[in-house]
Amino acid sequence: MIQIISGEKGKGKTKFLLERVNEAIKKANGNIVFLDKNTKHMYELHNKVRLINVPELPVDTPDEFTGFLCGILSQDNDLEEVYLDSFLTIAHIDNMDDFGKVLKKLNVLGDKYNIKFTLSVSKDEKDLPECAKQYIDISL
């Protein structure tokens, strides 16, 4: 399952994402991972949420990013949810074709492993590709 929180930079997407992850961990039976472009929000996350600072790792393309996600999934059979802040940045997505390809892979992974992905995307809803619009949960 995929949910997208969309809106231009500075609209408050991260605030919604942090609220969601902190609520989710209270009800979770398994693990939750939060991927971000830095550790700025480390102290705003519940201490049971695993924060991964993606730029610290040698991930440079959308394909490498999806491979990296597969590695996370393969190492944690109890993983329930993955939150991705600054999704376009951490996934190295420069165009909407790549965005569609990564979404398709996330959808396959989510269905196969029963994992929920929540993404914050710094684009206005109208600027997202059609394949992404079905996943929009919040548009700011």
What is the CB neighbour count within 10 angstroms for residue 50? Answer: 15
User: For the chain, what percent of residues have pLDDT higher than 70?
Assistant: 100
Span 5-18, pLDDT tens digits = 999 988 888 998 99
3, pLDDT greater than 90: yes
> Are 132 and 99 spatial neighbours (Cβ–Cβ below 8 Å)?
yes
**Residues 58-70, mean pLDDT to the nearest whole number:** 95
pLDDT range class, residue 33, cuts 50, 70, 90: very high
Q: What is the pLDDT of residue 40?
A: 85
Model confidence at 44: pLDDT above 90: no
Cα–Cα nearest to 114, from 46, 21, 31: 31
For position 98, what pLDDT does the model report? 93
Q: Is the pLDDT of residue 42 over 90?
A: no
Range of the domain at 38: 2-139
For residue 94, the domain's CATH number is 3.40.50.300
Report how far apart, in Å, the C-alpha atoms of 139 and of each of 9, 45, 71, 91 are. 12, 22, 30, 20
pLDDT in the model for residue 37: 93
Q: Tell me, what's the pLDDT at 49? A: 94
* Tally of domains within the chain: 1
